[in-house]
Amino acid sequence: MSTHNFAARPVGDGPEPDSSPNPFRKDFPVLERTVHGKPLVYLDNAATTQKPREVIEAVERYYASNCANVHRGLHLLSAEATVAFEGARERIRQFINAPSISEIVFTSGTSAAINLVAYSFGRRFVREGDDVVITEMEHHSNIVPWQLLCERSGANLRVVPINDDGEMELDRYEQLLGPRTRIVAVTHTSNALGTRNPLSRIIESAHSVGASVLVDAAQAMAHEIVDVSKLGCDFLAFSGHKMLGPTGVGVLYGRYDLLEAMPPFLGGGEMIERVSFEGTTFKAPPSRFEAGTPDIAGVIGLGAAVDYLTRAGLDRIAGHDTELLAYATARLSEVPGLRMVGTAKDKSSILSFNLAQVHSHDVGQWLDGDGVAVRAGHHCAQPVMDRFGVSSTVRASLACYNTREDVDALVRALLKTIEVMS
């Protein structure tokens, strides 16, 4: 599929801007608003993306027209809600190319999905003396659940270091693997650095020693095609709100034979076959892992987000992201005293940086005054901050609706911040 360049107007010297209009901006109502009297420039997409109108309307339509619980109702509203809910499961299955809808488990987000695997897979497969392998670049959500598992089980947590560019040290990773490695948990794309990991090699190496692999794909789903059948991963976790969908909903893909062998994570309605005081039997996946009333509206909204991304074309979005990242990297290199944190050769559209002599929180507040929304802090990745000798960074993260003009506004605001703070 062909890619398109997207709109911007030049500000000072720098790479040649593009005069083509961005075809997505009109679909996102929030981008029409102002902040502190300035047009909103939203560059906090790694934290959460904005929502297209059709996602908002899908959620509203459920609440306005067929709000009912799913699966067990005999009335029409429940039947309609169930069709919409399970229809979203099928579209998500297609979106990631999973073999079966029974491998698509709805959760409250990436964190819940990882915790589910750490608890249930860990309870079934991880024993004292086994190894769990993660990397130094992981989000806290892909660190803490494994620490808790190791504390419970007596397993060892092995951490793969990263180099000065923010890339995994692959030779060291392969040295850490062995016959006691039970699971490797690795991010697809670092939320703090933008690094995209070489998953094919990582997964192949893990499988060669009999280990399973969980991929945290939270930062990837809105930017490129993620095909679980092609990757060959055993688990994949992602969140709706980072891929144009609602908050409070996410997905765990799990290989069916593993899910079938895993005990429940939460107990309650929907996940049982038969309950008595003498004992309980449980349904097959995915129901086994979906106790209680799910976020029905969120799942329906996530289905609408998948429809939007599918229609937009992830190849097209990936082309846009690559071009805009290159433009942004070049423009930020013009800012005096700016240090980029995360310079991997293979990067997604995340730019973390600091300004000399200005705390990242001060930078974030000054940028907000100019209508530019970024994230400032440790990004739930304190080990990454420790690795680079900083307490925090400013993070500008891009999405399909961002433009070169947005980048130019960021650079203008940074230069203004330096002038004011110096």
pLDDT digits (tens, 9 = 90+) for 129-172: 999 999 999 999 999 999 999 999 999 999 999 999 999 999 99
Q: Model confidence at 393, in pLDDT bands (50, 70, 90)?
A: very high
- The C-alpha angle 192, 196, 157, rounded to 5 degrees, equals 70
Query: What Å distances lie between residue 345 and 97, 163, 167, 326, 337, CA to CA?
Result: 27, 12, 8, 12, 22
Average pLDDT over residues 198-209: 98
Of 19 and 10, the one with more pLDDT: 19
Q: Is the pLDDT of residue 19 over 70?
A: no
Give CA–CA dist 88/95, Å, rounded: 10
At 157 the three-state DSSP class reads strand
Q: Please say whether the beta carbons of 54 and 27 come within 8 A.
A: yes
Give CA–CA dist 184/204, Å, rounded: 11
Question: Is 233 annotated as catalytic?
Answer: no
**311: exposed, middle or buried (Cβ count in 10 Å: 0-12, 13-18, 19+):** exposed
Fold category of 55-310 in CATH: Aspartate Aminotransferase; domain 2 (3.40.640)
Q: Model confidence at 14, in pLDDT bands (50, 70, 90)?
A: very low
Give CA–CA dist 166/194, Å, rounded: 9
Spatial CA neighbour of 245 closest among 41, 44, 59 = 59
**278: exposed, middle or buried (Cβ count in 10 Å: 0-12, 13-18, 19+):** exposed
Q: Model confidence at 21, in pLDDT bands (50, 70, 90)?
A: confident
Give CA–CA dist 371/195, Å, rounded: 27
Query: What predicted TM-score, i.e. pTM, was given to this entire model?
Result: 0.94
pLDDT of amino acid 20:
64
Give CA–CA dist 27/319, Å, rounded: 19
Alpha helices of 46-196 — where are they, by DSSP H?
53-65, 76-96, 110-125, 144-153, 170-176
Of 67, 150, 233, 380, the catalytic one is 380
Task: CATH 3.90.1150.10 in the chain: give the residue spans.
Answer: 25-51+313-421
Strand order in the sheet with 350-355: 338-340, 350-355, 393-397, 375-377
At 255 the three-state DSSP class reads coil
Q: Please say whether the beta carbons of 243 and 305 come within 8 A.
A: yes
Give CA–CA dist 359/364, Å, rounded: 9
Q: Model confidence at 72, in pLDDT bands (50, 70, 90)?
A: confident
Average pLDDT, the chain: 95
Computed from CA positions of residues 234, 268, 150, 152, in that sequence, does the dihedral angle turn out positive or negative? negative
Give the largest CA-CA distance in the chain.
75
Token pair 């698509």 is found at 104
Average pLDDT over residues 324-340: 98
Give CA–CA dist 281/303, Å, rounded: 31
Query: What Å distances lie between residue 220 and 216, 311, 341, 418, CA to CA?
Result: 9, 17, 19, 32
Q: Is the pLDDT of residue 47 over 90?
A: yes
At 332 the three-state DSSP class reads helix
Average pLDDT over residues 369-379: 98
At 174 the three-state DSSP class reads helix
Residue 378 tokens read as 């440790």
For domain 25-51+313-421, give the CATH number. Answer: 3.90.1150.10
Token pair 């995994």 is found at 168
**List of residues 6+ apart from 341 with CB closer than 8 A:** 166, 192, 193, 352, 353, 354, 388, 390, 393
Task: CATH 3.40.640.10 in the chain: give the residue spans.
Answer: 55-310
Q: Model confidence at 421, in pLDDT bands (50, 70, 90)?
A: confident
Give CA–CA dist 169/135, Å, rounded: 9
Average pLDDT over residues 89-117: 98
Angle between helices 144-153 and 110-125 (to 10 degrees): 20
Helix (H) or strand (E) run with residue 212 in it? strand 212-216
Q: Model confidence at 73, in pLDDT bands (50, 70, 90)?
A: confident
Spatial CA neighbour of 294 closest among 56, 85, 59, 61 = 85
Chain segment 226-248, per-residue pLDDT in tens: 999 999 999 999 999 999 999 99
At 275 the three-state DSSP class reads strand
Spatial CA neighbour of 196 closest among 349, 388, 348 = 348
